[in-house]
Amino acid sequence: MIRTWTVLLAAGSLLALCGCPAQQQAGEETPPAVEETPAVEETPAVEETPAVEETQVIEETPEATAKAVDFSVAWCTDDDPKVAAEKAATEAIAGLGCPAKGLIFYEYYPKTVKDDEGNDKEATDPETDKLVLPAIRKAAPDVPTIGCRARSLVSGGTMVKNTVSVLAIGGENVSCKVTKAALADDRKVVGQSIGEEFKDVADLKLVFALSEMSLSFETKEGVSVEDFIRGINQSCGEDVTLFGGNCLPNDYPADKGGLQYLNDEALEGHVVAMGIGGPIAVHANHTNEFAPSEETPVVTKAQDKWIIELDNKPAAEVYRKLRGMPDDEKFTSDSEHPIGVVVTPEKVYLRMILDWIDADGKDLAGEASDLPPGSLLFVAAVPEGTKVKVLKGGGDAGAILESAKEGILESVEKAGDAEPLLALLSDCCARGFRLRGLRKADECEIRQAILPALKDKGEFPIFGFYAWGELGPIAGEFGGLKCMYQQHTFVSAVLTEEKQAADQ
């Protein structure tokens, strides 16, 4: 299965088209494959991709001149990863009205294994995964390229097993450069090294970064994903948007690694990034499905990534009361119990509880701790004086869909009268898992929420993925940062022509 969306921007005008080899039956689009939904912390089960006939659909491409910005998205599902990768890359590039200057891709080719109870489950297949990159490079040997292992979200829906999705970037006034950095405990140095590489990208607007869970879920004291963001900001400037997230892990929760791609390299334990410059404006937004408490407790005691007290009481005690948790309900790790860090009067950004100290002074693993009972652990520091909300809910499929609809509409509305060229999505995998468990098997955020929300907003491509942790702007500022690492969140960014360029 293959689809392509193309957007052309020429001499201040937008030329939108969609022309690609596509599958059709009885004149209608064949819906994409959908994924089985496990529990939040399990790998999704295998589902067969239905066979369909492939029909060539050819449309005339309008001839465009002096294109400033050019995006094209294509995706292909095929049992052979080499076929899917080469087709998706070839079609994405063909959809451009000019040479490609950068490619970003997502791929997922699982294998079936037995879990501890003897049931079939999906697991990553590194050997098959690594067949994707050579095929993409065959289609675009000299184009700067990054990618990772992930389930993609595109205009056709949620793409799952045996799919490659590609974003091609071009345009007369666009520049792209790629780089990598090995993960190190000094996350700030990692971010700075990436940012330094992009200082020569003309009119840098966007740093698109892909990594693995190890970037964000390091438990060592003093090692923080926020320092990575600070490092990029210091090198690139605070006005440059950071977007992206973490790839699907090798074996969650035992292994928080993954696969990242840079040009001809398949990597682990790295951040790969693309700096994109040109007459582009980024209109970003974040939403989640949880309901905030009316009360706004304040962090009154903290130690590194631990909140010890809220309103001068044990943090867990205050959390339980505001959420209405029964006495016998246990906290979960990165699953059901979030807080909202207040960034504006109307917006919070979400962090999940990762660990807690119980009444016996032990953490979730049963290890004794020196911290006071009731302390709560998060992925990064929440300093004393921070206002937070206790977030409730998480089990409502309608709320997940509504938050995706709200998020993409807010991003489009931020663009004002500028024509959308591309929608980038970094959507939490836990939202997908919960949605798949709560709704019918043929429903997904793209087809049930995002496409209906955009039906009157014009046609433009969507390129996103289910991330294991999202990077993107927040609606305000926290700790001096405008972009943050987020969890269980729908992050969207709509790219348009920059106003200044349009008026020249």
List the pLDDT tens digit at each of the 504 positions of the chain: 555 554 444 333 323 333 333 332 223 333 344 344 344 344 444 344 444 333 333 343 444 455 789 999 999 999 999 999 999 999 999 999 899 999 999 999 988 888 778 888 778 887 888 899 999 999 999 999 999 999 999 998 998 889 999 999 999 999 999 999 999 999 999 999 999 999 999 999 999 999 999 999 988 889 999 999 999 999 999 899 999 999 999 887 778 889 999 999 999 999 999 999 999 999 999 999 999 999 999 999 999 999 999 999 999 999 999 999 988 889 999 889 999 999 998 899 999 999 999 999 999 989 999 999 999 999 999 999 999 999 999 888 899 999 999 999 999 999 999 999 999 999 999 998 888 776 655 568 999 999 999 999 888 999 999 999 999 999 989 989 999 999 999 999 999 988 753 444
For residue 181, the cross-strand partners are 271
DSSP strands (E only) in 20-62? 24-25, 28-29
Look up tokens 């043929």; give the residue. 442
Q: What is the pTM of this model?
A: 0.86
Separation CA 472–CA 282 (nearest Å): 11
Per-residue pLDDT at 24: 27
Q: Which two tokens stand for residue 423?
A: 């929608």
Separation CA 170–CA 184 (nearest Å): 33
Separation CA 304–CA 370 (nearest Å): 14
* DSSP string for 45-62: PP-PPPP---B----PPP
Per-residue pLDDT at 111: 86
Give the DSSP letter of residue 263.
T
Check: CB of residue 195 under 8 Å from CB of residue 155: no
Q: Which two tokens stand for residue 343?
A: 């960034």
Separation CA 300–CA 320 (nearest Å): 17
Half-sphere exposure of 131 (CA within 13 A, CB side): 15
* DSSP string for 433-468: HHHHHHS-TT--HIIIIIHHHTTTS----EEEEEES
